[in-house]
Amino acid sequence: MKIPPYWVKEKRMGCDGHLWKLHGISYKSMAEARERLEERFRIRTEFVACHGVSADAVAQQSSRLRALDELRAEEYSTLLLEPVLQRIDSDNVITRNRYGVQVLNSTSLCFVDVDCFPLTVWDSLLGLLGKGTTPEEKLLQVLRDLCSADDSMGARLYRTHRGWRVMLTGNGLAPDSPRMHAICRTLHADPLYESLCTRQKCWRARLSPKPYRVGVPGYPRPVDSESVNTPEAQDWLQRYESACQGKVVCRLVDVVGRKLQSPIIELHDRMTRAHMTDVVLA
């Protein structure tokens, strides 16, 4: 999980006539982040100016750009350029994403988004006889089976606006592990969410409602790590937080397998208001 505390993004016309998306990051200061953005622009300009570049030149450019992002040659994680709201510990950080919601980024607690859990033909036939099951019941049974097969695993199932959120703990789970990908296939996880977690090497869980679901769209997207404090952003935040009253992100359905206990779980349930009933999921 790479979440630099200082970063800046900028679009600038390149020497090839195309609009380049540039960024600079730092774990020390905004000044260093801006210097690295300028260095990134110089490196790309030099590269484009060299016609007929060799494979070695391409590799050299890639290495120089990765160095600016403080990534080692063997690292393939994607940087998370979002304002940091709270660093809980080394494994858990809360950020505000590009459309304004608070997001828990975790390497210790696994989350899986499930938008649709399909029923089998047999399930559908039983439904016609009044003996069918719902997608939620089917998903819960799959979680029970997973936990029964591995006594290190525990699961919490939450209902969301569009589907479900699954929280998992267990041995051998990592965002980019073969086992995690297999579990995602079993749970029919959202493939875009799975891909995002793989690239960023962490799991992400939304902690506050989506703005358009509470009638407050148009978050002023930050251009650097300090933009979250601008008057425009603060005005938007005040309207958004007011509109979120009476709305929840998810609702706890059931807990199966090994009991999960963690301050991070308590924080997740408190911030998402997961124990509130008869309220709007947003």
* 109-132 pLDDT tens trace: 999 999 999 877 667 666 666 666
Question: Which is nearest to 97 in space by CA: 211, 255, 244?
Answer: 211
Same domain? For 173 and 228 the reply is: yes
Q: Are strands 280-281 and 247-248 parallel, antiparallel or unpaired?
A: parallel
Average pLDDT over residues 238-252: 95
**Predicted model pTM:** 0.89
Residues 97 and 51 in one domain: no
What's the confidence (pLDDT) of residue 180?
94
Domain-embedded: residue 73: no
The reply to whether 265 falls in a domain is yes
**Distance between CA 265 and CA 202 in Å, rounded?**
16
Q: Name the phi and psi angles at 230, rounded to 5.
A: -70, 155
Mean of the per-residue pLDDT values of the chain? 90
Number of independent structural domains in the chain: 2
Q: What integer is the mean pLDDT of 20-39?
A: 96
Rounded CA-CA distance 167/274 in Å is 12
pLDDT at 124: 65
* Confidence (pLDDT) at 112: 96
User: How large is the average pLDDT for residues 254-266?
Assistant: 93
Question: Residues with Cβ < 8 Å from 276, sequence gap 6 or more?
Answer: 248, 251
Predicted confidence at residue 96, as pLDDT, reads: 95
Q: Any idea which of 67-76, 153-162, 192-201 has the lowest mean pLDDT?
A: 67-76
Q: Which token pair is 264? A: 């991070």
Question: Are residue 55 and residue 90 in the same domain, yes or no?
Answer: no
Q: Which residues constitute the domain of residue 59?
A: 6-68
